[in-house]
């Protein structure tokens, strides 16, 4: 029997052609039958967890970079949570293993397997067995992170460093709030030259922008940033920037925002290769 295909799509050459690696972990729209059977609310409530069609934005901006896009829905398992962020309220296995104290995300119902969403409350009609959650970790969570780590390592070997751009979307933060949020784990996951470059592009486009508030990034940045050799940045786009007025499908704004994202990607690549050149000159 041939192995099951991975639950994500990978675009780009086996050897990365750019130091920038793109990740889209929350746009998945595959809802396995086991998930549908366990829901206690209409499916539409679970789809609120999606970064709705942010993959369309990534595709529109994509060039020859390596790009990973998760197909499975976030409601099934959240790739931006640690394997340790298991919620004992819905996960039988969480009580059987030694876990750290629940994080604020787990307590709020947004752990490795989300438990609730705003406006709909609790998602599930039952608790899941340890075997069910462990299967999701093995089949969905680990393969994505392994592929992302391999792509970053290959880019680092070819270019001397790699830059991970983790692409997400967010609901509107209200009047006066930022419409794009740059996350770098409060300065820990990326050098400021990269983050500064991204912020300049967004400001030049006259789009309100913030750093780390209210989204600083999470498990993906923590896991894959590597000091001075792998820099990791999360970008959150207000869905109103690229979706239609109903918030359901890609809208008229997508082309403009894709152009801005393309500029971000190209600029990060130039910064990475320029930094490598400066390092080589300094070493001579």
Q: What is the DSSP letter of 94?
A: G
**pLDDT tens digits along 2-48:** 667 889 999 999 899 999 999 999 999 999 999 999 999 999 999 99
Cβ pair 162, 155 in contact under 8 A:
yes
For the segment 174-187, the average pLDDT, to the nearest whole number, is 97
Q: Which pLDDT score is estimated for 2?
A: 60
Closest of 112, 130, 144, 137 to residue 5, by C-alpha: 144
For the segment 184-201, the average pLDDT, to the nearest whole number, is 98
Cβ pair 21, 148 in contact under 8 A:
yes
Question: 59-63, 82-86, 150-154, 276-280: which has the minimum mean pLDDT?
Answer: 276-280
Hey, what's the torsion of the CAs at 163, 168, 173, 177, to 10 degrees? 20
Q: Where are the domains of the chain?
A: 8-80+139-283
Q: Which pLDDT score is estimated for 1?
A: 55
* Separation CA 24–CA 40 (nearest Å): 27
* Separation CA 19–CA 154 (nearest Å): 9
Q: Which pLDDT score is estimated for 5?
A: 83
Is pLDDT of 150 > 80?
yes
First to last CA, the chain: 54
* Separation CA 264–CA 223 (nearest Å): 22
Cβ pair 151, 18 in contact under 8 A:
no
Reported as a pLDDT band with limits 50, 70 and 90, residue 276 is low
Cβ pair 77, 113 in contact under 8 A:
yes
Tell the CATH topology of 8-80+139-283.
Aminopeptidase (3.40.630)
Reported as a pLDDT band with limits 50, 70 and 90, residue 283 is very low
**pLDDT tens digits along 244-259:** 999 999 999 999 999 9
């Amino acid at each position: 029997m041939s192995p099951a295909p991975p639950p994500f799509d990978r675009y780009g050459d086996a050897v990365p052609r750019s130091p920038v690696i793109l990740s889209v972990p929350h746009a998945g729209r595959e809802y396995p039958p086991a998930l549908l059977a366990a829901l206690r609310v209409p499916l539409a409530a679970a789809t609120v967890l999606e970064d709705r069609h942010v993959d369309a934005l990534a595709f529109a901006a994509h060039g020859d970079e390596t790009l990973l896009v998760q197909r499975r829905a976030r409601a099934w398992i959240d790739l931006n949570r640690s394997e340790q962020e298991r919620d004992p309220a819905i996960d039988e296995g969480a009580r059987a293993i030694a876990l750290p104290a629940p994080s604020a995300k787990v307590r709020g119902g947004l752990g490795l397997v989300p438990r609730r969403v705003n406006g709909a409350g609790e998602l599930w009609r039952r608790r899941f067995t340890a075997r069910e959650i462990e299967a999701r970790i093995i089949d969905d969570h680990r393969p994505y992170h392994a592929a992302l780590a391999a792509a970053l390592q290959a880019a680092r070997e070819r270019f001397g460093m790699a830059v991970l751009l983790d692409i997400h979307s967010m609901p509107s933060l209200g009047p006066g709030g930022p419409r794009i949020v740059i996350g770098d784990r409060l300065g820990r996951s990326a050098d400021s030259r990269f983050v500064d470059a991204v912020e300049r592009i967004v400001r030049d486009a006259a789009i309100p922008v913030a750093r780390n508030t209210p989204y600083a990034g999470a498990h993906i940045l923590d896991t894959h940033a590597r000091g001075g050799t792998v820099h990791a940045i999360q970008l959150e786009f207000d869905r109103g920037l690229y979706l239609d007025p109903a918030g359901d499908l890609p809208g008229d704004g997508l082309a403009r925002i894709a152009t801005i994202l393309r500029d971000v990607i190209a600029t990060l690549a130039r910064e990475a290769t320029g930094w490598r050149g400066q390092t080589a000159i300094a070493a001579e």
